[in-house]
Chains A and B, each alone.
Chain A
């Protein structure tokens, strides 16, 4: 809670008081209004900031609530572009525009969400030291809600509540053959635990919300063993990440269907099939792109075209 809150609201009601602007602007790191004396100096500088912005919603000074008239407080809140403002803006965002405390709360909630994902992907070093990389990797996956299959055994999954038996702790020397991390919040850091599983043959990363191109570029240590990879439904994987799957020369089955971030699914599937000749690629139908319209043919000029 800021001790100056009350003073802010009261003084903002009074037009033209340099002190209110001082608190307002200082709070957000904008201080040039103090240099030029008086009210007019403030306005020129505010205008300067407005003009120097690109026409996006740059949130420089949060409008201070003043009982309803937006005139005083709508300072640097430039015209809201259509892309950013959804029609049903949530109450939290509405309040965050007007109150510093709500804005701090919103930022705190966002940071907590990000740190929750980081926490889920932390490495279990003590388990790794005690039981070995296979057990540590299996524990990591089971904790995230995925399923693991050790060599020569059945799938181990956590139950509805997320609990799983710790029988696998004695399987220190048994390699993990298959991992089903579908829907898990595994990210770039979390792949550390997976990459230690040197004999992994089958990896399913369907619908993982944080798996992106950077994660795919990390999969090359599994090249000698990985035979099956599924990336269906991952919202952040694009064709740029798929390009680095060519390290996985042992891959026999690749599922790249339903990737929303890929710009041309049919063409991508053809290119991936060319890149991995001995792999069966499940993806979008190549005819799908043809229905959208004929591809632009390159102009047949007799030499380099001028820029």
Chain B
């Protein structure tokens, strides 16, 4: 009897009965905006596009994500820190807006009938230590940060010892401590909150991989008579997971938020195919870089007040939970970059490169025991380790929101808004990210950040 009921219910409207074949897994045949990559940056762009569009329901957005479990996504493998202590003013502004977003996350991402989000924010702050060489740079940076409105205080080694007696201040000339709006949170919760809200706003999701862009060229002349070949992407071929089937999606705008794989997606669009040294030949310099994170236990370690400490050597650690567990790691130098082919963890790296500076900085860490470790990818911008935002000068309807090299999560809400403004209005309205455009790779203007970990 229930079989008959089920059959009738599936035939009536609302059921998913399809006499011919089930195409529910395919994306729609056309979409106004296609966002390649469903991580925190892609979802943030989708959210802001839907939030800032006028009138409501005007834009159809499709998010294409090939791994719905996010097993290799940088977002969920991240340590989850957020800070305003950057040297580039735009980075500070992005972080300030993002922390405001996180504080009011239940106003931004509220979905009726669903429970409020708890991102488990730890407002413990970041403590950056500087040696003699870096002390002057740190002072300058703090001046820039304070101008933008960050609450950072400078501490001498004496004050550092008073406040955090477990630190060994040998070799530290200056420290900058973020008093408010800095700390760490749960990136998975932000991702799920964005996903839930974005789906309730009507954004479509597709589980597939972008394999091809079909574009048209337009040979035009600039004012100085130079010939430029402008391309426009017309179709995105989305290949369905574990199948040879693909669906061509007609689109008006493509947003490249593929994180560590953005370079490959850009190559598909023909970015970088040209003689080197020209604008056509400038590739998107974002590549995969593997980074390790280790979780260790140290019962005599620093207590509840431990901030996110960054050593001058590049090693960092933070408290995790209440049980004297700590998360930390170190960015390897260019020579010792691990092979990003897989996400296997190298424990020798901890023994050789992470533990010695840690034990030197915090003597209690000489007796730690590593409990677990994992590896994740950075969408590493080899040019200047800062994000790429905005349209490509030649492929005129591809917008980038990638390349943040380890601080993408903490800037995602603000970057999403900036890209949405660029798409909808044509220029940045709230935060001016014109120094993060793609054209800097051709003109050579680096936006170097002195505080990258």
Contact = CB atoms under 8 A, between A and B. Distances in A.
Interface of A: 15-16, 26, 28-32, 35, 39-40, 42-54, 56-60, 71-75, 83-84, 93, 96, 103, 106-107, 114, 188, 213-214, 216-218, 220, 238-244, 246-247, 263-264, 267-268, 271-272, 274-275, 295, 298, 301, 303-307
Contact of B14 (A28, A73, A240): A73
A56 B202 contact: no
A220 B13 CA distance: 59
B347 A304 contact: yes
Interface string B278-311: 0000000000000000101100000111000000
A48 B123 contact: no
Given A28-B57, A57-B113, A274 B303 contact: yes
Contacts of A57: 113-114
B115 interface: yes
B10 to A, nearest CB: 9
24 contacts: A28-B202, A30-B57, A30-B202, A44-B23, A50-B16, A51-B24, A59-B200, A60-B202, A71-B12, A72-B12, A72-B14, A73-B14, A84-B113, A84-B115, A220-B180, A239-B322, A243-B123, A243-B124, A243-B304, A244-B305, A246-B305, A301-B369, A304-B296, A307-B373
A45 B322 contact: no
Contacts of B9: 71
Contact of A43 (B16, B125, B294, B319): B16
Contacts of A304: 294, 296, 347, 350-351, 369-370, 373
Contacts of B206: 52
B26 interface: yes
A274 B301 CA distance: 12
Nearest to B17: A43
B333 interface: no
B165 to A, nearest CB: 10
Contacts of B303: 271, 274-275
Given A242-B304, A268-B322, 20 more contacts: A15-B12, A40-B19, A42-B13, A43-B18, A48-B25, A48-B26, A50-B16, A51-B16, A52-B199, A52-B204, A52-B207, A60-B200, A73-B14, A213-B123, A217-B181, A275-B303, A304-B347, A304-B373, A305-B370, A305-B372
Nearest to A73: B14
A71 B13 contact: yes
B13 A72 contact: yes
A307 B327 CA distance: 13
Contact of B18 (A44, A267, A295): A44
A75 B13 CA distance: 8
Given A241-B123, A275-B304, A298 B202 contact: no
How many B residues are at the interface, by size bracket? 35 or more
Contacts of A45: 24, 28
A28 B117 CA distance: 23
Interface in B363-381: 369-374
A49 to B, nearest CB: 8
Closest 4 CB pairs of A and B: A47-B16, A304-B370, A29-B57, A217-B123
Given A29-B56, A29-B201, A298-B369, A43 B13 contact: yes
B201 A35 contact: no
B134 to A, nearest CB: 25
A32 B24 contact: no
Contact of A93 (B113, B199, B201): B113
Nearest to A50: B16
A47 B11 CA distance: 12
B111 interface: yes
Contacts of A54: 195-196
B29 A35 contact: yes
Which residue among A28, A56, A263, A306 has the maximum number of chain B CB atoms within 10 Å of its CB? A56
Nearest to B199: A58
A292 to B, nearest CB: 14
A284 to B, nearest CB: 13
A303 B368 CA distance: 9
B122 interface: yes
Which residue among B22, B114, B115 has the maximum number of chain A CB atoms within 10 Å of its CB? B114
B60 A58 contact: no
